[in-house]
Structure 1
Amino acid sequence: MKRILLNILVTILLIGCNSSYSDDDLKLWYDKPAVHFEEALVIGNGKTGATVFGGVHTDKIHLNDATLWSGEPVDRYMNPEAYKNIPAIREALEKEDYKLAEQLNKKIQGRFSQSYAPLGTMYLEFNNQKEFEDYYRELDISNAIAKVNYKCDGVTYYREYLVSNPDKVMVIKLSADKKNALNFNLKFDSQLKYKSVANPNRLEISGYAPYHTVPSYWGSDNPVRFDEKRGTRFSAHFNVLNEGGEVIVSDSGIQVNEANEVILHICTATSFNGFDKNPASHGLDNQSIASQLLRQSTIRKYETIKTDHIKDYQSFFNRVKLQLGDYNRPDLPTDQRLIKYTEGAEDKGLEILYFQYGRYLLISSSRTDQVPANLQGIWNPYIRPPWSSNYTMNINVEENYWLAEAANLSEMHQPFLQFIGNLAETGEVTAKTFYGVDKGWAACHNSDIWAMSNPVGDFGYGDPMWACWNMSGTWVVTHLWDHYLYTGEKTFLSNYAYPLMKGAAEFCLDWLVEDKNGWLITSPSTSPENTYITPDGFRGATLYGATCDLAMIRECLKQTIRASEVLKQDASLRDSMNNVLTKLYPYQIGKKGNLQEWYHDWEDAEPQHRHQTHLFGLYPGNHITPLIEPELAKACRKSLEIKGDETTGWSKGWRINLWARLWDGNRAYKLYRELLTYVPPHGAENVNYGGGGGTYPNLLDAHPPFQIDGNFGGAAGVIEMLLQSNEEQILLLPALPDVWSDGQVCGLCARGGFEISMKWKNGKLTEVEVFSKIGNRCSLRYNEKTIGFDTKVGGKYCFVYNRGELKNRI
């Protein structure tokens, strides 16, 4: 009888969790075509990306491929004797000569990263369609399909756009409510070198990317360099399937006359064959790949492709549901809705939409082996994009993946986890040649598809503030341990993750030196992109023992120790790491009550700086919490108060998570609202890079300009408000904002291999369901009380909160 009753109660919970959204809850929609990129709708299958403007006379669609970058495999030995300058830098720092150390640190620099390249733009030019009415444009993120419809001269036209992962094809369906109404030309253009070849009903584009692109922020007389014998090759094949009318193909495009319905298939491919293979001489056959994909897709009906696409996409997207009580959804286009919200209107539906949009973007941009989502996901129209649209590893690429495990999208984490292995290969040489460390591996500020790991700066011209930081390898391996904690994949830990973690830890052990008091520190050191002021007025970035370095080393060593314990390996190395942990220079609390960013209690040149890397131990690290280290947590709070809330988009995303880790849900929610501040579209060329951030009309993050990390960081922050976890316990509703007093969330993941669903009413937890994926013991904490219980693989465990305690439903 008890078992039957338990099953009934579980079913009740599951029915609530799987309740459907209304048709419009998960749609972005607009009543006019896009003019700027920041208004257009982005779709993708994790490799091919498209940015749809939805114009009437001309529909412009930017095309991208995740594997299309400038450059070729990195020269790992670009500055083979850079390490010989390290002793001189350390000597200058020992003498407190920071000006000299700053100058010498410039000698520890190499080349810049390469740039993510735009494949090209397709144009659909519609004849005699200028005046129109009843225009509607949408992106339905519940099924990853964009649509446009409008009326012109008494005819209603429809377009439907999707990018399928199962079929590896972009498909556009064009139709009308009258026969013979479709008349248009398909044209293509690219900022890359290319040629066009016509075939029956098909246009084939082939070309190549630059072998080198200079970053947009760096001066050059020849910034984009092409050589027909170098660089990544690309193909884009366009096919027309028409019902009625005629199709005329020439080398300049495709003409469609008086068709009833048209299905366009677009397949892209590149010659990229791995980070260490020359794409020109040892690349994949992009022409053959694109041609084969097109043949396979064109023999399948559109509805079949669409059905398989939705099934594949929803297998990931539908894992998580979020509801925030009852609310009225404004019947407004999304851009107008965002403006009203910025002006102070309540809109819980928009807050849910933004969270789920982050999950949509991750599914749509991160499904290519060894190629993570970059600064712009996979959507970039510029040949010299902001910050090269690269992998910026002092926060941004990591922030892209804070969402992955907790939001039940572990599969989307894989491209980044795989990329770390590539980074370690080039990083072994970086450790030796730039830092004189023979064990382990290191990576620095920037990387690219070629897994570049060296410090940047153009061999001595870069400011050490951003060019000379070398701790990203220590940071990125924490993602490997996190993946293990969420999934329990011991083979992954043993065969792949642990060797990489061990290599990053070994670099740290050899890189650390003693200060004058015998504490272990890093030297030279910087705090990413920030600047100190010494008591004598010198402003610089180079110092010893920056707090962020030591925080990351703490986290890395703690995790590597735990991994070695789980695997029962490397006992002597474990002892060495434990010994080093006791000797690391301790965290310091400054005279203002803040957590010091610098070794000394110096002033910040920019107190409200967007970076807060010295708070790494609070988030994304786990070794500072209000429970374990209350005084350090208090100091982190003071640091955040000094910094204030006005900052760039990705930084707001980070601060949401930091405030949530301090269990201040109302402050986290305040920043979440501010992240959804409307920012008008204007194009990257007119952006004030240092201005405050927010959200563009298409809900993409405004750094400004567009950077996707703010979307991912903001969505991750929603989860941190509702659920936090570590190796020991799961915290339920640890930072629930007052405004979200009623709600329900289903399918979030917690460390330990658990899936959590819960309901709350009037700000209080009412029900929680735990699904155990791997059978670990579970410990739930709510309102300062904890309940622990054993689980079985595949088991579901339901509790209610009653009289101050979590109790089993039975």
Structure 2
Amino acid sequence: MKSNFIKKLLLVFVFSSLYINMTAQSSHVLWYNQPADFFEESLVLGNGKLGATVFGGVNLDKIYLNDITLWSGEPVNANMNPEAYKNIPAIREALKNENYKLADELNKKIEGKNSESYAPLGTMEITNSNKGKVTNYYRELDISNAISRVTYEIDGVKFTREYFVSAPDQIMIIKLTSSQKGALNFDINSSSLLKSNVSVKDNVLSMNGVAPIYENPDYPVVPSFLLEKERGTRFSTLMKIKNTDGTIVSSGTSLGLKNATEALIYVSIATSFNGFDKNPASDGLNDKAIALENLNKAFAKAFDKLKQTHIDDYQKFYNRVSLNLGKTAAPNLPTNERLLRYADGKEDKNLEILYFQYGRYLLISSSRTMGVPANLQGIWNPYLNPPWSSNYTMNINLEENYWLAENTNLSEMHLPLLSFIKNLSVTGKITAKTFYGVNEGWASAHNSDIWAMTNPVGNFGKEDPSWACWPLSGAWLSTHIWEHYVFTQDKNYLKNEGYPIMKGASQFFLGWMITDKNGNLITSPSTSPENKYIAPDGFIGATMYGGTADLAMIRECFDKTIKASKVLDIDTEFRSQLEAALSKFYPYQIGKKGNLQEWYFDWNDEDPKHRHQSQLFGLFPGDHITPEKTPDLAEASKKTLEIKGDETTGWSKGWRINLWARLWDGNRAYKMFRELLRYVDPDGKKTEKPRRGGGTYPNLFDAHPPFQIDGNFGGAAAVAEMLVQSNENEIRLLPALPDVWESGTVKGICARGGFGISMEWNNKILKKVTVFSKIGGKTTLICGDKKQNITLKKGQKMEINW
């Protein structure tokens, strides 16, 4: 009797555990009970170079393939408009005479070519010949190990697919299994929107092609393969099957497997891209040889070893940070249904954690190629003409992609951007001279591409200056160099790589700025990214002088360059020039509405709720406006945000959440964070009551709309910003904690000064904090009214009961 009782207890325990597992909501798995029909429902994988977009269909499994180095074009001719700078005096004269209409027209003469486009490599299709009713379909992406899985049953036979993209082995692996011997039957096909050809030889399916050589929205798709030996980036895709049983079959353009039980598909991709300044045709890499070498090396390894190597490599980054926001009563639902439920105002703390960690997952998956940072869509683009060319938009979007790199403990993922900035500083020296007439330093503008294009865009005078004419991205980008240093304390990097680039950016702005009639330093001409003013005579224009955003970014650029020179103890004379210039800047102005003025004068915006809030740069991502040190400017920043309202695009919402966090308003930041996770229908989906606008698609991609990845990165960065804020001297704990996150723990968040933070709080009160120092140093911990000074040695950890 006693043994039966124990057995019953064990059964109760087992079933209870199963029930808990079924109902516990995951903070690291996206899952669905149907295949993806749209791009915005698919699940994405990547190793920082090869990107895969998996739809998980039953009879037809479609996988979009990308390589982050496959772009249209070739090295840019930076000297494309050698006498553009000669128009600057006339623009300044028009502005001096308050003739803004003329200034707008003349500003178009300071334009060059538009950027190149990020290209779609191809589509892989796995066609299954198993017919019958499908049951128990399940599709997931486990971001804790960067593996996607699909399972389903047909007539009692269970089919499983497992997908991952390995960084160490530079390969994509798909494992297919069936529960019944010999039930696996499939064919593989490959195609591309680019010029390409497909062939099968020695049981290897290969697709070779070339990207278009120039930016052209109307690029004609030529179905036949046209080999232009001297132009364009080449690409090679190789696919090979490893089988344990069954028979491999092939035709001229497809590869298949019949009557098998288990199989592996290897996908290897390479391009001829060999750097921003090398012709990919004449000086390119041997893409065919690289693809074949990676394929053969991976093919020789056991699946379990490939998988474990991939997981170990990925988790060394992902596992650095963990977050728990307390108890959740949310039911376990497919991710799309979770989003819908959350959009109705329901609680789902684990969805919030999932979104945060998904942002980190996307950065690890899209930013591991030096000189080629994550673009507007990360690395996942199926379109021949992607939105905004899926380029590097540098008046916010590229930078927002990297706000989470340092504070969420992914410093290595910052390196592709930092090395790209170095490339910009090369072409940017020519841009500074030819477009702006400044002979020292380097400049970069609104858009760029893999070729490190730095000229102002606008198709040589055909586009609106409000977005085309903006030479400030060098100031913004240079602050990323300082951020990398101040988080890592890597003085060798700052000395050998970073500081010369920061100095070059500052040199340009010293040469670019002029004085207004009162002797204040300003920029002229100036625009405020993508926004327009209404002049007193009713003229709606973009070209002005002394725009607040310009001065905020240059302030930050000069300030960080000064700090870098002090750290390195060099360039005292140049440092003095920057300090003298800063003392003469046209000061911030607070307008009649109590807002921080965007324009030199207190003029109205054409769109008062405009998505850009560039004038608030000094609050975030800059740090020279704070509630403590500059309360009047912080209050004016708050008023600006209130005037703009909370309804905006995805990436803009991501920015505004960070701004509210910097104002230490956790509840307002959280309100907008919830709105960022508002469910948005896929772009092509037709429903009776479509859900559109800024928010989040079913696969957790950011809806600008359309998809732009910067909102994901900005939103994830904001979660960290709500929990920890820091500068070179202090670390502020729980500065913008919303009421709903009353209890929780976080581990592995990074702070400036080279510190790592783990902490525990309950009832909104900090209970315990552990501080780790990478190289040793001093800081002051602040939480509420309490402060504590600490000094740690290299590698030392201190635990404090607060």
TM-score (norm: length of structure 2): 0.95
Partner of 1:544: 545
Partner of 1:477: 478
The aligned runs of 1:8-87 (5 Å cut-off) are: 24-87=26-89
User: Residue deviations 1:176-232, cap 9 Å, x none?
Assistant: 1000011111001100111123222211111111101325xxxx5869998723110
Partner of 1:149: 151
Q: 1:344 to 1:399 in 2, by over 3 A?
A: same
2:389 aligned counterpart, secondary structure:
helix
Aligned partners of 2:615, 2:735: CA distance in 1, in Å?
Answer: 23
User: Residue deviations 1:37-85, cap 9 Å, x none?
Assistant: 0000000111100000000010000000010001000011110000000
Shift of 1:25: 2.9
1:404 aligned counterpart, secondary structure:
helix
User: Residue deviations 1:667-712, cap 9 Å, x none?
Assistant: 00000000000000124999xxx97300000000000000000000
For the 8 Å contact 2:113–2:455, the answer to whether it is kept is: yes
Shift of 1:784: 2.8
Aligned partners of 1:204, 1:53: CA distance in 2, in Å?
Answer: 22
Aligned partners of 2:685, 2:277: CA distance in 1, in Å?
Answer: 32
1:577 aligned counterpart, secondary structure:
helix
Shift of 1:412: 0.4
Partner of 2:175: 173
Partner of 1:722: 723
For the 8 Å contact 1:214–1:224, the answer to whether it is kept is: no
1:92 aligned residue (94, 100, 104): 94
Shift of 1:661: 0.1
For the 8 Å contact 1:202–1:249, the answer to whether it is kept is: no
Structure 2 residue 101 is the aligned partner of structure 1 residue 107: no
For the 8 Å contact 1:120–1:188, the answer to whether it is kept is: yes
Aligned partners of 1:568, 1:383: CA distance in 2, in Å?
Answer: 50
User: Residue deviations 1:324-380, cap 9 Å, x none?
Assistant: 011134221000010000011110010000000000000000001111000000000
Aligned partners of 2:527, 2:636: CA distance in 1, in Å?
Answer: 21
Aligned partners of 1:222, 1:434: CA distance in 2, in Å?
Answer: 32
Aligned partners of 1:224, 1:468: CA distance in 2, in Å?
Answer: 35
1:371 aligned counterpart, secondary structure:
coil
Aligned partners of 1:744, 1:510: CA distance in 2, in Å?
Answer: 49
For the 8 Å contact 1:57–1:130, the answer to whether it is kept is: no
Partner of 2:228: 228
Partner of 2:430: 429
For the 8 Å contact 2:757–2:769, the answer to whether it is kept is: yes
Aligned partners of 2:222, 2:106: CA distance in 1, in Å?
Answer: 30
For the 8 Å contact 2:376–2:393, the answer to whether it is kept is: yes
Shift of 1:318: 0.3
Structure 2 residue 318 is the aligned partner of structure 1 residue 354: no
User: Residue deviations 1:233-279, cap 9 Å, x none?
Assistant: 00000010011111112331102111111100001000000000000
The aligned runs of 1:314-333 (5 Å cut-off) are: 314-333=315-334
1:779 aligned counterpart, secondary structure:
strand
2:188 aligned residue (186, 189, 193): 186
The aligned runs of 1:62-461 (5 Å cut-off) are: 62-129=64-131, 131-215=133-217, 228-229=228-229, 230-461=231-462
1:740 aligned counterpart, secondary structure:
coil
Shift of 1:656: 0.3
Partner of 2:663: 662
Shift of 1:130: 5.5
Aligned partners of 1:61, 1:420: CA distance in 2, in Å?
Answer: 32
1:746 aligned counterpart, secondary structure:
strand
Aligned partners of 1:712, 1:227: CA distance in 2, in Å?
Answer: 39
1:412 aligned counterpart, secondary structure:
helix
Q: 1:637 to 1:468 in 2, by over 3 A?
A: same
Partner of 1:8: none
Give the AA of the match of 2:533: Y
Q: 1:222 to 1:35 in 2, by over 3 A?
A: closer
Partner of 2:585: 584
Aligned partners of 1:664, 1:129: CA distance in 2, in Å?
Answer: 56
For the 8 Å contact 1:653–1:714, the answer to whether it is kept is: yes
Give the AA of the match of 1:796: K
For the 8 Å contact 2:140–2:149, the answer to whether it is kept is: yes
1:212 aligned counterpart, secondary structure:
coil
The aligned runs of 1:496-507 (5 Å cut-off) are: 496-507=497-508
For the 8 Å contact 1:625–1:633, the answer to whether it is kept is: yes
Report % sequence identity: 62
Alignment gaps of 5+ in structure 2:
1-22
Aligned partners of 1:330, 1:178: CA distance in 2, in Å?
Answer: 34
- Aligned residue pairs total 774
Q: 1:683 to 1:473 in 2, by over 3 A?
A: farther
Partner of 2:13: none
Q: 1:754 to 1:424 in 2, by over 3 A?
A: same
Aligned partners of 1:786, 1:44: CA distance in 2, in Å?
Answer: 43
Aligned partners of 2:786, 2:322: CA distance in 1, in Å?
Answer: 26
Partner of 1:6: none
Q: 1:642 to 1:130 in 2, by over 3 A?
A: farther
Partner of 2:653: 652
Give the AA of the match of 1:171: I
The aligned runs of 1:602-681 (5 Å cut-off) are: 602-681=603-682
Aligned partners of 2:794, 2:711: CA distance in 1, in Å?
Answer: 35
For the 8 Å contact 1:121–1:189, the answer to whether it is kept is: yes
1:739 aligned counterpart, secondary structure:
coil
Give the AA of the match of 2:122: G
Aligned partners of 1:718, 1:164: CA distance in 2, in Å?
Answer: 28
For the 8 Å contact 1:372–1:416, the answer to whether it is kept is: yes
Shift of 1:432: 0.3
Give the AA of the match of 1:231: G
Aligned partners of 1:302, 1:780: CA distance in 2, in Å?
Answer: 47
Give the AA of the match of 1:183: N
Per mean C-alpha deviation after superposition, the further-off stretch among 550-559 and 21-30 is: 21-30
TM-score (norm: length of structure 1): 0.94
2:508 aligned counterpart, secondary structure:
helix
2:478 aligned counterpart, secondary structure:
helix
1:198 aligned counterpart, secondary structure:
strand
The aligned runs of 1:500-519 (5 Å cut-off) are: 500-519=501-520
For the 8 Å contact 1:746–1:757, the answer to whether it is kept is: yes
Alignment gaps of 5+ in structure 1:
1-20, 802-810
1:156 aligned counterpart, secondary structure:
strand
2:596 aligned counterpart, secondary structure:
coil
1:465 aligned counterpart, secondary structure:
helix
Aligned partners of 1:212, 1:131: CA distance in 2, in Å?
Answer: 48
Aligned partners of 1:45, 1:732: CA distance in 2, in Å?
Answer: 33
Shift of 1:728: 1.6
Aligned partners of 1:320, 1:470: CA distance in 2, in Å?
Answer: 37
Aligned partners of 1:130, 1:466: CA distance in 2, in Å?
Answer: 54
Partner of 1:700: 701
Aligned partners of 1:210, 1:685: CA distance in 2, in Å?
Answer: 33
Give the AA of the match of 2:442: W
Aligned partners of 1:514, 1:352: CA distance in 2, in Å?
Answer: 49
